[in-house]
Amino acid sequence: MGGRRNSYGYSQYHGRGGSRTRTVLLFIIALLAILLAACAAFYALVDLEYTENGVLVHWPWAQESATLPPIASDPIILDTGPVNVTAEPTPSLEPTPAPPPVYEPIGAVTATVSQLKNGAAAQAVAAAGGTALVVEMKDMNGKLAWQSQAPLAAAMGVNAADNSAALAVQSLSQTTDLYLVARVQCFRDPVLARNWVGPLMTRGGNVWHDYQGLSWSSPASQQAVDYLSALCLELADMGFDEILLDSAGYPNSGEVNVLAVSDNRPADLTVPVSAFLERVSGELEARNVRLAVSTDETLLPGNAVLSGLTAGVLAQYAGRVWLSGSASAQQYTDLLAAAGWQDTSPRLVVKNALTGAGSWYR
Q: Which amino acid is present at 348?
A: L
Residue 325 pLDDT: 80
Amino acid at 140: M
Split at pLDDT 50, 70, 90, the class of 246 is: very high
Cα angle 228, 202, 153; round to 5: 25
Residue 26 in domain: no
Does 123 reside within a domain? yes
- Looking at every residue in the chain, the average pLDDT score rounds to 85
Q: Which range, 39-48, 156-165, 327-336, has the best average confidence (pLDDT)?
A: 156-165
- Which structural domain range is residue 178 located in? 107-361
Average pLDDT of 298-318?
91
For 183-207, what is the mean pLDDT?
A: 97
Task: Give percent of the chain above pLDDT 90.
Answer: 66
Phi, psi of 349 (to 5 degrees): -100, 115
**pLDDT value at 61 more than 90:** no
Q: Which of 38-47, 151-160, 226-235 has the lowest mean pLDDT?
A: 38-47
Backbone angles phi, psi at 247, to 5 degrees: 45, 50
Quote the pLDDT of residue 13.
Answer: 41
Total domains in the chain come to: 1
pLDDT tens for residues 135-176? 999 999 999 999 999 999 999 999 999 999 999 999 999 999
Q: Is residue 121 one of the residues assigned to a domain? A: yes
**Residue 3 in this model has a pLDDT that exceeds 50:** no
CB-neighbour burial class of residue 93 (10 A; exposed 0-12, middle 13-18, buried 19+): exposed
Q: Rounded distance, CA 234 to CA 143, Å?
A: 15
Radius of gyration of the chain (CA): 52
**362, pLDDT greater than 70:** yes
Please state the φ and ψ torsions of residue 69, each to the nearest 5 degrees: -70, 150
Distance CA 158, CA 147 (A): 9
**pLDDT attached to residue 12:** 43
For the stretch 5-41, pLDDT in tens is 444 343 444 444 556 777 777 778 878 878 777 766 6
Is 99 among the domain residues?
no
Average pLDDT over residues 55-79: 55
For residue 59, is it within any domain?
no
CATH number at residue 345: 3.20.20.80
User: Phi, psi (5° rounding) for residue 305?
Assistant: -95, 100
pLDDT at 205 over 90: yes
Is 212 part of any domain?
Answer: yes
Contact 276, 312 (CB under 8 A): no
Query: Is the separation of the CB atoms in 298 and 326 below 8 Å?
Result: yes
pLDDT value at residue 96 = 65
**The pLDDT of residue 51 is above 70:** no
Least confident residue range of 82-86, 246-250, 276-280, 348-352 = 82-86
Domain assignment of residue 251, yes or no: yes
51 belongs to a structural domain = no
